[in-house]
Amino acid sequence: MVNNQLTSENIIVGVHLNLALGFHSQIAQGILRFRNTRRNWSFIHLRPEYVASEPLPIVGWIGHLDEPGTTPQNIRDAESIHLINISNRSANPFPGTRIINDDRAIGRMAARYFLRKNFRHFAVWGLPEHNFSAERQLGFQETLAENGVNELSFYSYKDRANLASLRHQLPLALFVVSDIPAKSLMGYLLREGFRIPHDIALLGVDNDPHITLFTSISLSSIITDGESIGFQACEQLEILLREEKNQPKTLRIPPRGIQERFSTETLAIKDQRVQQIQDYMLTHLAEIQNIDEVAQALHIHRRHLDRCFISELQITPAEWLARKRMERAQELLVQSNDTVDIIAERTGFGDRRRLNRTFRKYAQPRPSEIRANQKQQPSDNLPQ
């Protein structure tokens, strides 16, 4: 039996997201992608403090139902409004259908990533009051144990004073359950004299561009699939509207991968000569003319330098240097007001043409596009 709500002219759904957060913006993109396939669906973005003086014309609500103050009480109480929960904050979630990150899979991905980098010391920085943090931590711990690693340190914002103990575990792979605490933690570690990534490799979650590119050192991060969460939330709401009897379910959306940046590179390298080569190239990023110059400065035969580098990292020293220059240029494009020509000089490209050519080679957006995108403030694409 088809619910007559689906055959009416308009289906209106309420949504609450914090679009200043990259993950929530991804969810909004998924909702908008769904709307483009359903002409009679529309979405309104309601503030949590909104209280209707009369019944709202909405048939569904998509929001973080586990988080206090994000869903108006009159919407929670309305029997005619179907609710889709996109939060995994609480261990006792709001009853009903949930579309959430596969948080254990996120933790497992982080552990596998660090294991591939040959780390021997591991730690997690969590948010103990949040269920998603506990699940990410558990996935991380289980995967390490499966690979013979049983020693794992756990920290939270309450343990900041105890971080001095990290000096006995270097080099350390540090998994932070979200980009937001990773940013503040990075600042604290740098002030305490830790070198990132030489002493501590720092990996966050969400790949939020408003955070990862604006940290002191660009932050590596697990890419969550917020767009699929938004789209699936709409699809599940459509099922609820179509079927009079439907069992609540939980769909867990796996992460898409890892965006590697400076915060996790050049660590846990077995060959100390390769570490020395990397350190030299990073220190002299703007001055190096060619790899022969690096070999001469470090008193290493050029062929031996190439062999060591390729054996350890599976890329040539020249390619690694080009990538580091490109990443540094990307940081300067979003963090400084320097012209593209000045950035090309500061990163060793010499001129704008060589910089643009390298960006094209690695299929990156043009420098002008990166700068233009950063000037745009996050906007609310959902109607108010």
101-123 pLDDT, tens digit per residue, is 999 999 999 999 999 888 889 99
Instruction: Answer whether residue 291 shows pLDDT above 50.
Output: yes
d(CA 201, CA 171): 8
- CATH topology of 103-224+259-264 equal to that of 272-375? no
Which residues make beta-bridge pairs with 91? none
- Domain positions in the chain: 4-101+226-256, 103-224+259-264, 272-375
* Neighbour tally for 255: CB within 10 Å: 21
- Strands (DSSP E) found in 9-148: 11-15, 41-45, 60-63, 82-85, 97-101, 121-126
Instruction: Answer whether residue 370 shows pLDDT above 60.
Output: yes
d(CA 343, CA 370): 13
* CATH number, span 272-375: 1.10.10.60
- How far does Cα 217 stand from its chain's mean position? 15
pLDDT of 266: 58
Mean pLDDT (whole number) for 310-333: 85
Mean pLDDT (whole number) for 329-337: 79
- Strands (DSSP E) found in 219-256: 220-223, 250-253
pLDDT of 146: 95
Mean pLDDT (whole number) for 193-222: 89
pTM of the full predicted structure? 0.72
Query: Diameter of the chain by CA atoms?
Result: 80
Instruction: Answer whether residue 301 shows pLDDT above 60.
Output: yes
Class of domain 4-101+226-256: alpha beta
For residue 382, what pLDDT band results from cuts at 50, 70 and 90? very low
**In contact, 140 and 119? CB cutoff 8 Å:** no
Kindly provide the b/e burial profile for residues 288-309, where b requires at least 16 CB atoms within 10 angstroms of the residue's own CB: beebeebbeeeebeeeebbebb
CATH T-level fold of 103-224+259-264: Rossmann fold (3.40.50)
Burial category of 205 from C-beta neighbours within 10 Å (exposed 0-12, middle 13-18, buried 19 and up): buried
133-192 pLDDT, tens digit per residue, is 999 999 999 999 999 998 899 988 777 767 777 888 888 999 999 999 999 999 889 988
For residue 72, what pLDDT band results from cuts at 50, 70 and 90? low
